[in-house]
Amino acid sequence: MTFGRVTILAAAIAVTLPGAAMAQSPHNWSGYYVGAVAGYGWSQSTSGPTRMYENFDGTDEDVINSPIPPFSFSGSGLIGGAEAGYNWQTGGLVMGVVGDIAAANIRGTYMDDSALFSVDSTINWLSTARFNIGVPMGNVLFYGTGGLAVGGVTNGLHDYYGDDVVNTSDKTTNVGWTAGGGVAAAITNNWIIKAEFLYVDLGTKNVSFSEPDAPDPGFGLITSSAKTTASILRVGIDYKF
């Protein structure tokens, strides 16, 4: 009876092992792929000194008040878009290039202590072009990534004049860099799922606002600078050709 059970078990193992080996065979990461990504981002915005001028020229003699000192504030929001790339697998490394573009609504708001004005900053879209390098472990790939980042940022100023609010904004296209890492898993020969983290530095841009229709004493020109960074966690699904 025991011998029969061992024989049956051995036969089952002999039948199962080839299938198991095939299921565990390493994935070939080489090839083109396209996919979709979505996630959540946390931003950090830092202003430079803010100067206010009576006219539109911005000449030094027209400064009304001392510069408002720099201040920082954080934001958060959703991001999602599409990506495409290519991987080369050689030996124990996988190298690749990838580009993506995503719509975003990563927004933060700062309220002045005196409640005379508020500022908001929104990352409206983000695109990256990156180089990846990773180590495959079976059907799983651990990788680092880094490269160029370009994003659209809207900075808004809201000045409070009693019951009146004057809303102005300045839209900029920022160029910076990004770096991060992630893990990808091949669930079939063609479909890959991933999770990744990106730190994005969109640099510093000069911004300006004008209040020609503001109640007295409205400012003809308000100037500052805005530095924008973000930390992004996202998941994706790719189809490899």
What tens digit of pLDDT does each residue of 162-172 get? 778 889 999 99
What pTM value is reported for the model? 0.84
pLDDT value at residue 22: 37
Residue bearing the bigger pLDDT, 107 or 22 = 107
**3-class state of residue 79 by DSSP:** strand
What tens digit of pLDDT does each residue of 99-144 get? 999 999 999 999 988 878 899 999 999 999 999 999 999 899 999 9
The rounded distance, in Å, linking the Cα atoms of 93 and 105 is 36
Q: Could you tell me the two tokens for 82?
A: 């599409």
**Model confidence at 4, in pLDDT bands (50, 70, 90)?**
very low
Q: Which DSSP category does 170 fall into?
A: E
Of the candidates 37, 79, 57, the residue with the CA atom closest to the CA atom of residue 192: 37
The rounded distance, in Å, linking the Cα atoms of 40 and 79 is 6
